[in-house]
Structures are given as C-alpha cells and as structure tokens.
C-alpha cells in the first residue's frame, strides 16, 4: 500500500502514509533499540509534513504540488 501511494507522486499523502506505517510499527515493536530508531524516523517524517506548504485544509496547493 505504501509503495502504491509513493508511486502516485503525491508527497503529502506519501509522508502521511509513512507516518502511519512508522507509528503502527512502533506500537507493535518489542525492541527498545528499534523503537528508538523508529521514533527518530517518525520525528523526521512529522517535521517533513510540517515543512510542506499547505492550504487551510492541510492539502498542498496546486502550485506547491508542482514543486513537491
């Protein structure tokens, strides 16, 4: 599913799907070392989402989609 979303080229949707995947994986992880790594990745993905220019509904504007 994540690969299908990534193939769509929509950066926001791809980052959101990756965020959800990392959160799910973290919830089901038993290794402290792996949880730390997943947490760092999740933090980076959340920062990337926050850095994307979006309209007031949280979606990329059409112009920004061209450059994402």
pLDDT at residue 26, rounded to an integer: 95
Q: What is the pLDDT of residue 44?
A: 97
Contact assessment for residue 53 and residue 42, using Cβ atoms and an 8 Å cutoff: no
Please state the pTM of the whole predicted model: 0.74
Q: Which residue has the higher pLDDT, 30 or 10?
A: 30
Percent of the chain with pLDDT over 70: 81
Average pLDDT, the chain: 86
Better pLDDT: 54 or 29: 29
Tokens (6 digits) for 49: 């989402």
Please report where in the chains the tokens 């989609």 appear, as a residue.
Answer: 65
Q: Which residues lie below 8 Å from residue 2, measured CB to CB, with a gap of 6+?
A: 14, 17, 18, 21
Spatial distance between the Cα atoms of 14 and 59, rounded to a whole number of angstroms: 12
Average pLDDT for 6-15: 87
């Amino acid at each position: 599913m994540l690969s299908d979303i990534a193939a769509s080229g929509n950066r926001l949707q791809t980052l959101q799907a990756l965020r959800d995947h990392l959160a799910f994986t973290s919830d089901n992880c038993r290794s402290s070392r792996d949880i730390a790594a997943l947490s760092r990745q999740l933090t980076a993905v959340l920062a990337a989402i926050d850095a994307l220019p979006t309209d007031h509904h949280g979606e990329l504007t059409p112009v920004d989609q061209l450059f994402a």
